[in-house]
Amino acid sequence: MITVGDLQGEYSPAAPSRVIFGKGKTETLRDEITALGGHRVLVLSGRTVAEKTDAVRRASNALGNNCVGVYSGLTQRAPLTAAVEATKMALEAEADTLLGVGGSTISDAARMIAVMMAENIITEDRLRELGHQQGGLLEPTLEGKRLPLQVSVPTTLSAGEFNTGGGNVLDDASNLKIRVRHPSLFSHLIVLDPDMTVGTPDWLWLSTGVKAMDHCIEHLYSRGNQPATDATALMAAERLFHFLPRSRQADGDPAARLECLIAAWMSMIGSPNVSSGLSHGLGHIIGVKYSVGHGYTSCVTQPYVMEYNRTVSAHKQALLARSVGIDIKGMDDETAAGCAAQAVDDFIVGLGMPHRLRELEIPREDLPVIAEMTLEDGATKTNAIPMTSVDQMMQVLEAAF
Q: Which tens digits make up the pLDDT trace of 213-252?
A: 999 999 999 988 888 899 999 999 999 999 999 999 999 9
pLDDT of residue 65: 97
pLDDT of residue 5: 58
Residues 6 or more apart in contact with residue 171 via CB below 8 angstroms = 79, 80, 128, 131, 177, 178
Architecture of domain 18-196: 3-Layer(aba) Sandwich (3.40)
Picking from 378, 235, 375, 356, the residue whose alpha carbon sits closest to that of residue 303 is: 356
The overall longest dimension of the chain from CA atoms, in Å, is 66
Q: What are phi and psi of 385, to 5 degrees?
A: -100, 120
Around Cβ 246, how many Cβ atoms within 10 Å? 13
pLDDT tops 90 at residue 275: no
Around Cβ 390, how many Cβ atoms within 10 Å? 17
Taking the C-alpha atoms of residue 132 and residue 142, their distance in angstroms, rounded to an integer, is 19
- CATH node for 201-400: 1.20.1090.10
pLDDT tops 90 at residue 272: no
Residues 6 or more apart in contact with residue 111 via CB below 8 angstroms = 150, 166, 167, 180, 185, 186
pLDDT digits (tens, 9 = 90+) for 303-352: 999 999 999 999 999 999 999 889 999 999 999 999 999 999 999 999 99
10-27 mean pLDDT? 89
240 HSE (CA, 13 A, CB side)? 34
pLDDT tops 70 at residue 399: yes
> What is the percent of the chain with per-residue pLDDT over 90, rounded to a whole number?
87
pLDDT of residue 110: 97
Query: Nearest 5 degrees, angle CA 165-CA 102-CA 345?
Result: 85
pLDDT digits (tens, 9 = 90+) for 82-136: 999 999 999 999 999 999 999 999 999 999 999 999 999 999 999 999 999 999 9
Domain segments of the chain as ranges:
18-196, 201-400
Q: Are strands 166-171 and 176-181 parallel, antiparallel or unpaired?
A: antiparallel
Provide DSSP, 354-389.
--SGGGGT--GGGHHHHHHHHHTSTTGGGSSS----
pLDDT of residue 130: 94
274 HSE (CA, 13 A, CB side)? 22
The conformational region for residue 28 under phi > 0 = left, psi -120 to 50 = alpha, else beta, is alpha
Taking the C-alpha atoms of residue 79 and residue 398, their distance in angstroms, rounded to an integer, is 31
Taking the C-alpha atoms of residue 122 and residue 113, their distance in angstroms, rounded to an integer, is 10
pLDDT of residue 228: 87
What are the strands, taking DSSP E only, across 76-143? 97-102, 137-138
259-278 mean pLDDT? 92
pLDDT tops 80 at residue 14: no
Around Cβ 322, how many Cβ atoms within 10 Å? 17
pLDDT tops 60 at residue 1: no
Cα 61–chain centre separation = 27
> What is the percent of the chain with per-residue pLDDT over 70, rounded to a whole number?
99
pLDDT band at 139 (very low <50, low <70, confident <90, very high): very high
pLDDT of residue 244: 98
pLDDT of residue 371: 97
Residues forming a β-bridge with 35? none
pLDDT band at 13 (very low <50, low <70, confident <90, very high): confident
Residues 6 or more apart in contact with residue 175 via CB below 8 angstroms = 288, 289
